[in-house]
Every structure is written in C-alpha cells, then in structure tokens.
Amino acid sequence: MSFEELYLVLNKRGFFNTFQVLSQFKEYKAEKGEFYRILTDFSNYNSYLRIKDKLMESKLINLEKNNGQEYIGLTEKGKAVYDSLLHLNELINEEN
C-alpha cells in the first residue's frame, strides 16, 4: 500500500471509529452485533460501512465466522498499524 492509499484510508472517519471500537476488545476482535452496538453509541453505522471494504482490501481487518457467529477483528497488519498510531500519538504529545 502506498502512502497516498494509506492516507486515503486514514482520512476516512470510519477508520478511527473502527479501530476505536476494536481496541476495546481482547485480541482486537468483536462479535459483529457487539461491535455495531458499541459503534452506534458514539458514531453513525454508515461510517464503518464506508470504509469496511477498503480496510478488508488493505488487510487491516477481517471478518470470520466461528460457531455460527460472525466476528470483526484487526489482522496482524491492523494491530501493527494501531500500535504505530499509538506510538505516533505519544510522540506528538511529548512535544506539547
């Protein structure tokens, strides 16, 4: 993924909303219904739908079925991006 493609993904509101919700769960993976419930507590459901395909195409999230339930989770690549964003945030806050 080029920097320009990454910027387009990062610039979408749903990107941060998705990562914010998934970061609240152990192993960054949530049952689909629970994910949607938490997401809609602070954001519009459509914010996720607008970015979902791009996140999957970039292999930052995956959808899986297990025992009849669907889960949304960060991939290893998604976890690395999340950790990098946390680190970047810490660096920015150190300067202030």
Please give the domain boundaries of the chain with CATH numbers for all domains. Answer: 3-95 (1.10.10.10)
| β pairing state of 61-66 and 29-31 | unpaired
Say what the pTM is. 0.84
Joined tokens for residue 12: 């979408």
pLDDT tens-digit map of 4-59: 777 777 777 788 899 999 999 989 999 999 999 999 998 888 889 989 998 999 89
Greatest Cα-to-Cα distance within the chain, rounded to the nearest angstrom: 48
CA angle 68, 70, 73 (to 5 degrees): 145
Burial of 87 (0-12, 13-18, 19+ CB in 10 A): exposed
